[in-house]
Amino acid sequence: MNATRDDDALNWAGDDDPTLAPGGTGRAAPETTSLPEGWTTPKKDAAPTDIAADADKTESDGAAASSAALVGVGILAGMYLLYSIGWFIGVSRLARSTVLTSGDPVADFMTSLGGWLAVAAPVIWFGATFWLTLSRPRARWVWLLIGAVVLIPVPFLLGSGLPG
């Protein structure tokens, strides 16, 4: 290291400021603010009031709860995505089988539409649950859990439509 600071590679303007020196005696002048009449500044060593302590406790508890809720919702979102994939595989198996070729164009269209709606149902349920329960987190959990049971891709699980 060089003996003088001017020869250092990293010399920045304001490095000589005494408030930046570690353990330095220079202090920046405190800003003076004028408060309305009857107001006082809190003392540095004053103990927090009960309201402030409760607010800090509630805030930290809420952060932990919201983190757990976020992880839980993420797990359920993954389940719903897997449900959509399962419905897609199950519907495509049924469409390849000879059971669904009836020869009637209206029946074939309705069967195809029902299949696509079955694939989209988990995504629609998840989105509608979130949108309709923005202010009610408990109701959101209830409806997401109900959907996790109701929307199970039964054709995929049972393996229906497979030849053999």
Tens-level pLDDT at each residue, the chain (164 residues): 555 655 666 666 666 777 766 665 555 555 566 777 777 777 666 555 555 555 555 555 566 668 888 899 999 999 999 999 999 988 888 777 655 566 788 888 888 898 899 999 999 999 999 899 988 989 999 999 999 999 998 878 887 655 54
Distances (CA, A) of 160 to 83, 88, 96, 109, 116: 16, 13, 11, 20, 17
The angle that helices 105-132 and 137-150 make with each other, rounded to 10 degrees, is: 150
Residues contacting 14, CB < 8 A, separation 6+: 20
Distances (CA, A) of 108 to 56, 70, 121: 61, 41, 20
Residue 55 CA to residue 91 CA, distance in Å, equals: 52
Residue 111's pLDDT is: 83
Residue 99's Cβ-count burial label (10 Å; 0-12, 13-18, 19+) is exposed
Residue 164's pLDDT is: 46
Vertex 153: Cα angle to 72 and 134 (nearest 5): 35
